[in-house]
Structure 1
Amino acid sequence: MSSPPTLPEEPASGLFRAEYARRMNAVLDHIDRHLDTPLDLAQLADVAHFSRFHFHRVFAAWMGETLGDYARRRRLETAALRLACRPGKTILDVALATGFGSGEAFARAFKLKFGCTPTAWRADVAAKNAAMLAAMRLRRQDSNPDQAMRNTDQESLLNFQHHDDSHSHHRESLMKVTILDLPPATVACQRHIGPYGPAISTFWRDTVAPWMQSHGLDDAICYGIGHDDPGITPPDKCRYDACVAVPDGFQSGGRASITTLPGGRYAVAQFKGPSSAIAETWTRMTREWLPASGLQWDERPCFERFSAATAIDPATGEFSCDICIPVRPL
């Protein structure tokens, strides 16, 4: 059996930066898990294994915003998502679950951030969703159905195209949703912070795929996790994790963080089509199917799951994946 290809050794500066990224991402994940509690600067510094004295400065330099500003933004963005996705929760419930001491303090901060009250935001969700779907369908109807989607070079993850809106699809995709209990998965994750879209394709192709090849993971199951809603979070702050299933005891070499995707009940829809159509499928699933299902989104991450070896159909250029949303009863 041939050994996996060996890539040129990465310069020390690249390894150091990867280590910084790994530590800072651990802090961001910790903050997200504890939005309902006051942040302790010393504890966060310990999570990152950085000096407590200098951590605030390191965080601000790395993220482009202070720790306080970041935490406030994440609390409000998470609250906005919960207002939209959890109609059964009161505004006070959402406020307390995202770290605000009272409904009044939450309402003031929310209006300052989004320009409207939490009540108005929630009331406007249905109209916004309908307008979004209508605009997507109109774009597809007006597009050129003969626009080339084939690319005979698209035979592997190396040419993975993800959420690229440069093409449109002229067929209405059929969506069948199945409720499944998925097992936990041990994964190696690398994070991209910035706008979704073509940059994610580049990240998989130029960063993740070579790393996979060098570790003999060409045929692994992959998971793409978009943590933020670009309609709420500024595009340059959106977080995306490219994750690859790895065996127990796997050593990542420092570039990737090893974590576990939680198992449990998921609503799963199989997608196959041009990558430009996947955003609409996500929208239809969360705005049309989910409210009528008797289920709601829970705290676990949603993701796209696909095989690195077979995600792209070499004959058509179409992308295949499972869209997985974690659910629980209303």
Structure 2
Amino acid sequence: MLERLNEAMEHIERHLDREVDVAELARIALTSEHHFRRMFSALAGIPLSEYVRRRRLTVAGAEVLAGRETLLDIAVRYGYGSGEAFARAFRAVHGVGPGEARRTGAALRSQPRMSFRLIIEGSSTMRYRIVEKEAFRLVGKKARVPLVHEGMNPAIVEFTRGVGKEALERVKGLSNGEPAGLLSVTDNAEGVEEGSELDYYLAVVTGAAPPADLDTLDVPAGTWAVFEDSGPSPQSVQHLWRDVYTQWFPSNPYRSRPGPQLLSTRLSEDGAEADSELWVPVERD
């Protein structure tokens, strides 16, 4: 998998002066567009589109400083419809406009080429099972929140407080499917990088008719990889999420598919430790 990802990275480099076709990158990596984008973001820490933009403007910056071509010629080669659009994008990355950079020889910012390699530590194992699940319905409360990789997520804490204990108990009472109990559900994520937004639900799996004041999400039948974890809260779950995409997927014959991710968490009495189950929608490669 990593070898194929690196072939895709080489393809990006050869096509910085034209539109990068994500479908072609996914084909090279022998996976789906959805999984390629999520894998890239998890491994690189930034969205694919942002990496391509930074690399394109890094290469364009070198040509601006070289001074052999007009700024408009460089802008057109790298896909900008006007000098003004190129200047805005250039300034956003380098902190200075292309004209000023050429006149003053300003120091520019560089996005290095990325490649991926697997570091095998062997210090831990991941407990998982594969589940085939029929279509089901999630019912609960929803909010749009930013992703936080380490520590508590203030937006989720505020949202949970706003829902209130009484409403959460009412949602819990509707649970009658697997995974059981109140779930933290994420869906429609922009990516897996810090600060990207996603839909967050406090919800249950239920066959009951949903009350009108609750949000619903119908989930089609499919295959799920279910990961089990125990450890400090919330760090252990956040690390599990990271490890699923950076370690488990590259080592197993599955890829992620569109759909919500479900997290069931049982906290210790003092809230310091948690036993968790993370459900990720997958399909065979």
TM-score normalised by the chain length of structure 2: 0.51
Distance in 1 (alpha carbons) for counterparts of 2:165 and 2:216: 17
Cα shift readout 1:302-326 (whole Å, capped 9, x = no counterpart): 22134xxxx2121663222211111
CA 111–207 in structure 1, closer or farther in 2 if over 3 Å, else same: closer
Q: What's the counterpart of residue 294 of structure 1?
A: 253
Aligned runs of 1:92-103 on 2, under 5 Å?
94=33
1:198 aligns with 2:154: yes
Match of 2:228 among 267, 270, 285: 270
Counterpart AA for 2:30: G
Deviation at 1:188, TM superposition (A): 1.0
Structure having the larger proportion of residues in helix: 1
**How many residues are matched?**
187
CA 174–213 in structure 1, closer or farther in 2 if over 3 Å, else same: same
Distance in 2 (alpha carbons) for counterparts of 1:301 and 1:270: 17
Cα shift readout 1:248-304 (whole Å, capped 9, x = no counterpart): 2x23232x2223233321111112222122111111111111111111111222221
Q: What's the counterpart of residue 63 of structure 2?
A: none
Counterpart AA for 2:166: P
Rg larger in structure: 2
1:252 aligns with 2:211: yes
Aligned runs of 1:133-144 on 2, under 5 Å?
none
User: Which sections of structure 1, spanning at least 5 residues, go unmatched?
Assistant: 1-78, 99-108, 135-171
Structure having the larger proportion of residues in strand: 2
1:175 aligns with 2:117: no
Question: In angstroms, what is the RMSD of aligned CA positions?
Answer: 4.2
Deviation at 1:207, TM superposition (A): 0.9
Q: What's the counterpart of residue 116 of structure 2?
A: 126
Counterpart contact for 1:208–1:242, Cα < 8 Å: no
Counterpart AA for 2:267: I
1:226 aligns with 2:186: yes
CA 241–83 in structure 1, closer or farther in 2 if over 3 Å, else same: farther
Cα shift readout 1:45-88 (whole Å, capped 9, x = no counterpart): xxxxxxxxxxxxxxxxxxxxxxxxxxxxxxxxxx69x9689921
Q: What's the counterpart of residue 10 of structure 2?
A: none
What SS is found at the alignment partner of 1:320?
strand
Counterpart contact for 1:85–1:297, Cα < 8 Å: no
Counterpart AA for 1:326: P
Counterpart contact for 1:294–1:329, Cα < 8 Å: yes
Match of 1:88 among 23, 26, 30: 30
Q: What's the counterpart of residue 12 of structure 2?
A: none
CA 253–209 in structure 1, closer or farther in 2 if over 3 Å, else same: farther
Counterpart AA for 1:178: R
Distance in 2 (alpha carbons) for counterparts of 1:174 and 1:112: 31
Aligned runs of 1:1-330 on 2, under 5 Å?
87-89=29-31, 94=33, 110=49, 114-116=53-55, 124=114, 126=116, 174-196=125-147, 197-207=153-163, 209-214=165-170, 217=173, 221-227=181-187, 228=189, 231-232=192-193, 234-235=195-196, 237-248=197-208, 250-254=209-213, 256-273=214-231, 274-306=233-265, 311-314=266-269, 317-330=272-285
CA 232–214 in structure 1, closer or farther in 2 if over 3 Å, else same: closer
Q: Which runs of 4+ in 1 moved over 6 A?
A: 82-86
Distance in 1 (alpha carbons) for counterparts of 2:269 and 2:222: 33
Distance in 2 (alpha carbons) for counterparts of 1:276 and 1:216: 25
Q: Percent of aligned positions with the same letter in both sequences?
A: 15
Counterpart AA for 2:203: C
TM-score normalised by the chain length of structure 1: 0.45
Q: What's the counterpart of residue 154 of structure 1?
A: none
Counterpart AA for 1:194: V
Counterpart contact for 1:84–1:125, Cα < 8 Å: no
Deviation at 1:112, TM superposition (A): 9.2
